[in-house]
């Protein structure tokens, strides 16, 4: 049985590959593991069937035989640990790649995700410009550190790993903000990730879901 | 050689065990692994020696022979993977415990940490009350899901695991906010974690650092 992931029936990102199922799709494509997708509506996500998959009612989830997982980071790590291709064999290099996975999700993503929410939820608030400035500064602080570490290297620590996969996806949410362009090495790093054939296949698959949903609108 | 972690020379939490070295100290105590602590000042954290440990210039870091790691989540996972006691032996249960680790850091911690920052940085802003209300609502959404999952169980999924360890630490930052008390099952869950002897030893050790620093102030 191929694993089954969940994804938005109608993604609020309109097919730009920003929803967190993209990470899992990309990881599965990198390791060559076929998978099925169960599309869920916002209403479905509040139902007991989905809450049993993820108590927080979010996507993505991952079902494989009698195992059910949630959290895109945990699912990516599980795929990386059970298939070759996304983590180095050397135990120390492997532990370092996992450090980068957590850094992507716990240090780099929070201000980027917060900015993304603020542009929607606080756009008309009187404090919006000041808040955006503060968030941009927090993001620049992280990107400056990241660019300083990356230097001229293609990936964060040796060969492409699950750490790079997550770090590319969290920065993609900056497309259109102008922030990534302030760091040419990071813009090139993200582009390098997006150019990978596995990324392209994953991107096309999530885009097809959005296009199918649009067609239903008639 | 015992592993060496880094921690704040003078923790801004004034010894309340909210800094992220607390997670690593607790994990090391749970598995019975002695360790050394290198205290760093805010100035030290910007120096090349520390940036080589963590490109983002944060604590904690972890050094063990020729391995250097950063990110409290990654370090906790490394300790859990290399010592018995913090992850189940069954591969499925193990993967689920890791889902809870990511859920603690990527789903539950962000609004809690954001609130903690806002109470310091935005306290005098004209929008503070409105912002705090929004953050409290985001936190309540997560706590409601978490309490719904936990029910009457002592821990998130079977025996105490690294997932519980991280989930308890992220909620501890709510002490004093009144939010945890709205969820008696979660308040009891956090208290259950704090009552563990390993937690107590870790807490006392970080408190001793704060007290020593205070004494130097004369």
Same domain, B181 and B145: yes
Any bridge partners for residue B134, and if so which?
none
Same domain, A100 and A144: yes
* Closest CA relative to residue B105, chosen from A41, A77, A144: A77
B49-56 mean pLDDT: 98
Same domain, A103 and A192: yes
The answer to whether the CB atoms of A145 and B55 lie below 8 A apart is: yes
Please state whether beta strands B61-64 and B67-70 pair in parallel, antiparallel, or not at all (unpaired). Answer: antiparallel
DSSP H or E stretch at residue B102 = helix B91-102
- Residue A190 to residue A17: CA distance in whole angstroms: 13
Phi, then psi, of B173 in degrees rounded to 5: -65, -10
Q: Is A166 on the interface with B (CB under 8 A)?
A: no
pLDDT in tens, A142-154: 999 999 999 999 9
Q: How many CA atoms lie within 13 A of B163 on its CB side?
A: 26
pLDDT(B63) > 80: yes
A95-115 mean pLDDT: 97
Does the residue B178 lie in any domain? yes
Same domain, A14 and A72: yes
The answer to whether the CB atoms of A105 and B101 lie below 8 A apart is: no
pLDDT(B184) > 90: yes
Query: What CATH number is given to the structural domain containing A141?
Result: 1.20.1050.10
Does the residue B66 lie in any domain? yes
Give the pLDDT band (50/70/90) at residue A125: confident
Same domain, B135 and B113: yes
The separation between CA A29 and the C-alpha centre of its own chain, rounded to angstroms, equals 14
pLDDT of residue B216: 77
How close, in Å, is residue A114 to chain B by CA atoms?
9
A153-175 mean pLDDT: 98
The answer to whether the CB atoms of B71 and A106 lie below 8 A apart is: yes
**Are the beta carbons of A172 and A3 closer than 8 angstroms?**
no
Structure tokens at A25: 């799709």
Give the pLDDT band (50/70/90) at residue A215: confident
B137-151 mean pLDDT: 98
Task: State the count of interchain CB pairs (< 8 A) between A and B.
Answer: 111
Domain of residue B53, residue span: 4-85+198-209
Task: Provide, rounded to the nearest whole percent, the portion of chain A with pLDDT above 70.
Answer: 99
Phi-psi region of A196 (alpha: psi -120 to 50; beta: other; left: phi over 0): beta
Same domain, A124 and A186: yes
Same domain, A66 and A145: no
Same domain, B192 and B202: no
- ipTM higher than threshold 0.85: yes
Interior/surface letters A80-98, b for 16+ CB within 10 angstroms, e for the rest: bbeeebbbeeeeebbbbbb
Q: Mean pLDDT of all residues in chain B?
A: 96
Does the residue B47 lie in any domain? yes
pLDDT(A179) > 90: yes
Same domain, A34 and A58: yes
pLDDT(B1) > 90: no
- Mutant choice from B60, B79, B107, B130 vs A, greatest count of A C-beta within 10 A: B107
Residue B121 with chain A: CB contacts under 8 Å: 134
Q: Mean pLDDT of all residues in chain A?
A: 96
Same domain, B20 and B69: yes
Q: Is B77 on the interface with A (CB under 8 A)?
A: yes
Give the pLDDT band (50/70/90) at residue A184: very high
Of residues B131 and A104, more confidence is placed in A104
A11-35 mean pLDDT: 96
Give the pLDDT band (50/70/90) at residue B18: very high
Residue B148 with chain A: CB contacts under 8 Å: 51, 55
Radius of gyration of chain A (CA): 18
Residue with token string 């609004």: B111
pLDDT(A218) > 70: no
Query: What CATH number is given to the structural domain containing B54?
Result: 3.40.30.10
For the entire predicted model, the pTM comes to 0.97
pLDDT of residue A47: 97
Same domain, A95 and A189: yes
Residue B80 with chain A: CB contacts under 8 Å: none
pLDDT(B7) > 80: yes
pLDDT of residue A127: 84
DSSP H or E stretch at residue B55 = none
Q: How many domains does chain A have?
A: 2
How close, in Å, is residue A33 to chain B by CA atoms?
18
Same domain, A128 and A54: no
Cα angle at A178 between A174 and A180, to 5 degrees?
55
pLDDT of residue B104: 98
Handedness of CA B121, A174, B45, A98 (dihedral sign): positive
**Are the beta carbons of B113 and B173 closer than 8 angstroms?**
yes
The reply to whether omega before A63 is within 30° of 0 (cis) is no
């Amino acid at each position: 049985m191929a694993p089954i992931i969940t994804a938005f029936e109608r993604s609020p990102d309109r097919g730009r590959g920003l929803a967190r199922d993209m990470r899992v799709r990309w990881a599965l494509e990198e390791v060559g593991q076929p998978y099925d997708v169960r599309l869920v509506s916002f209403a479905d996500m509040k139902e007991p069937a989905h809450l049993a998959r993820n108590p927080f009612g979010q996507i993505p989830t991952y079902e494989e035989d009698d195992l059910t997982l949630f959290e895109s980071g945990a699912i990516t790590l599980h795929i990386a640990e059970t298939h070759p291709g996304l983590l180095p064999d050397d135990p120390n290099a492997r532990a370092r790649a996992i450090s980068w996975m957590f850094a992507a999700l716990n240090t780099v993503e929070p201000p980027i995700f917060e900015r993304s929410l603020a542009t929607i939820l606080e756009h008309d608030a009187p404090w919006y410009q000041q808040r955006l400035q503060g968030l941009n500064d927090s993001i620049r602080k992280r990107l400056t550190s990241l660019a300083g570490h990356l230097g001229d290297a293609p990936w964060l620590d040796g060969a492409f790993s699950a750490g790079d996969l997550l770090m590319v996806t969290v920065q993609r949410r900056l497309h259109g903000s102008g922030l990534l362009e302030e760091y040419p090495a990071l813009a090139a790093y993200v582009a390098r990730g997006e150019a990978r054939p596995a990324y392209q296949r994953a991107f096309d698959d999530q885009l097809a879901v959005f296009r199918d949903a649009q067609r239903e609108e008639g």
